[in-house]
Amino acid sequence: MPALPLNQRHYANAIRALAMDAVQKANSGHPGAPMGMADIAEVLWRQFMRFNPSNPGWANRDRFVLSNGHGSMLQYALLHLTGFDLGIDDLKQFRQLHSRTPGHPEFGYAPGIETTTGPLGQGIANAIGMALAEKTLAAQFNRDGFPVVDHFTYCFLGDGCLMEGISHEVCSLAGTLGLGKLIAYYDDNGISIDGEVEGWFTDDTVQRFQSYGWQVIGPIDGHDSDAIRTATLEAQADGARPTLILCKTVIGAGSPNKQGKEDCHGAPLGDAEIALTREALGWTHAPFVVPQDIYDAWDGRAKGDALEQNWDGLWSSYAKVHPELAAELKRRLAGDLPADFTAKANDWIAACDAKGETIASRKASQNTLNAFGPLLPEMLGGSADLAGSNLTLWKGCKGVQDHADGNYVYYGVREFGMSAIMNGVALHGGFVPYGATFLMFMEYARNALRMAALMKQRAIHVYTHDSIGLGEDGPTHQPVEQLASLRQTPNLASWRPADTVESAVAWREALLRKDGPTALVFSRQNLPHQTRTAQQIADIARGGYVLRDAAKVDVILISAGSEVSVAQAAADQLTAEGLGVRVVSMPSPDTFLKQDAAYREQVLPLAVRKRVAVEASITDYWYRFTGLDGAVIGMTTYGESAPAGELYKHFGITADAVVAAVKGLA
């Protein structure tokens, strides 16, 4: 059956009209994608998507991700039309300050937005994380007759997403893991901002995704409702493979003079073209006006209430038959840790202090995982191919590739993909994801880490081999500027522990934190145990504390991680020479800076101006604590290939250098 003429697709045309009107009013935005994908969206949201506008957070809702996030007005129009709390006045405020409809979808601004998209390729990565979470959670909690976790993840994406390298990383893994409830619709319109993509994007997308182990459907006519419906049903029927549906579309469909051209990609159509488009669509209504019969046809509230009520009945029966599982799933979906976790974590920290081991902090991290792992079934760990080096495997780990109900993901060499998938896992709920690589290679993942911070998601990034202490692998593998970059990222908590005790505290704080991600940075080399009082152990959680003190403080030495022992050795020398030395361990400078002024003054009194910081990282960061009249011992260049001990001497990161710096202060 041929597709309906464009001017008879009234339900989809409501999306087109709202999109072009909002972009025009804002005088900026991307009308082309919403207008081109309107028919796909209409079929998916009116016939397939399971959601409840009255309760956007319903646990068993389908997830929808707009990976080509510049087409945000498509999603805003859908939320508005289906009855979410997003009114027409919100659409009129598109791209305006403090509006609920920013230029790209932002998690937490409008109900129904599942993730922040915009950086192309990360949306599909988030969607894969959501699908992974659904599959794993279902395997852990569903029982015969009780599919309490049972939903699809749908993703719209464009050619820009497929050109980004992250799409290869994550889609390859999704096929390997058999994420059968992931369905992606590829908006294949052949246009980007620069024009027709055939000059720079000629991949055989069908063969590419088939090689990943995906089911590939199409190409289909992305404006043919029957074809879209048939393809979606076929996708849903394949529970073993993710599905890519190739939809041939016309960007800006309906615009007589701009459809199919880059002109409508990232700019308003203009008043004259909008008038012509209204005529071509048969849309006779004023800007931002949608007739009531169209609203009624789109309204998803009654259907959503019924879907949730049916699920509530299933849940009630599940809770009666499996009360312990129901209580555990409810806890995990709420993001709450077990009630006794903090007490047991503190017991472990005390045990670390009593044992007083001198080991690498990466090993201390693994020991902590072995202690915390049995307490926290919600942990979904992983590593980008370095599990044996970053020590993120603990005794209870089961790989999800072999066990659907597992708790560990072997991500392969996919640092960026891993980090973006973790964001999707966190957003889905039910898990606290952690993933690991060498600190140097956070650079590959930097934007996903930023997105976690932007969305305030609890994702834990484990980074080992944290400095020139890596040694012989050389400057390509030795991080220098990365610690400063992490510490300066808003809403990211960064920890670089000095020994086993600080490592355990750092893990506890990362797990307890609900409002953002944490970077845990660990050493390759052994670190000596530091002696502390109970109060000092308690103060570790404040990010910086006095580790060593004098009756009268003449100089303050500030350090973090492996160089705390260097500061202590320097303090020994200076004390022997009659100086009063305070050593401040600062495993998390960003956490320290959030403490009240009285505590910060207590640790770093303004009256003591003689200050030296020492860390095997870029020196510039530490001047915020030493002042320009202080000194910083650290790195000003890249590293070299040599044993760690030789490198510390070569670059002058030694106790003698700290002593000399103190003596050189006025």
Beta bridge partners, 64, equal 154
C-alpha angle with apex 424: 423 to 428, nearest 5 degrees? 120
Catalytic residue among 134, 415, 502, 615: 415
The alpha-helical segments, DSSP class H, found in 456-499 are 482-487
Q: How far, in whole angstroms, is CA 499 from its chain's centroid?
A: 28
Pick from 632, 621, 640: nearest CA to 661: 632
Q: Say if CB 504 and CB 364 are below 8 A apart.
A: yes
Q: Say if CB 29 and CB 35 are below 8 A apart.
A: no
Catalytic status, residue 415 = yes
Q: What is the distance between the alpha carbons of residues 421 and 424, in angstroms, rounded to a whole number?
A: 5
Peptide bond preceding 219 in cis form (omega within 30 of 0): yes
Q: Say if CB 71 and CB 38 are below 8 A apart.
A: no
One-letter amino acid identity for 631?
Answer: A
Q: What is the distance between the alpha carbons of residues 290 and 293, in angstroms, rounded to a whole number?
A: 8
Q: What is Dmax (Cα atoms) for the chain? A: 93
Q: Say if CB 587 and CB 496 are below 8 A apart.
A: yes
- In 121-167, DSSP assigns E strands to 153-158
Buried b (16+ CB within 10 A) or exposed e, 8-23: ebbbbbbbbbbbbbbb
Q: What is the distance between the alpha carbons of residues 223 and 216, in angstroms, rounded to a whole number?
A: 18
DSSP state, residue 146: B
One-letter amino acid identity for 2?
Answer: P
C-alpha to C-alpha distances, 593 to 352, 544, 598, 630, nearest whole angstrom: 26, 9, 11, 19
Question: What are the residue numbers of the active site?
Answer: 415
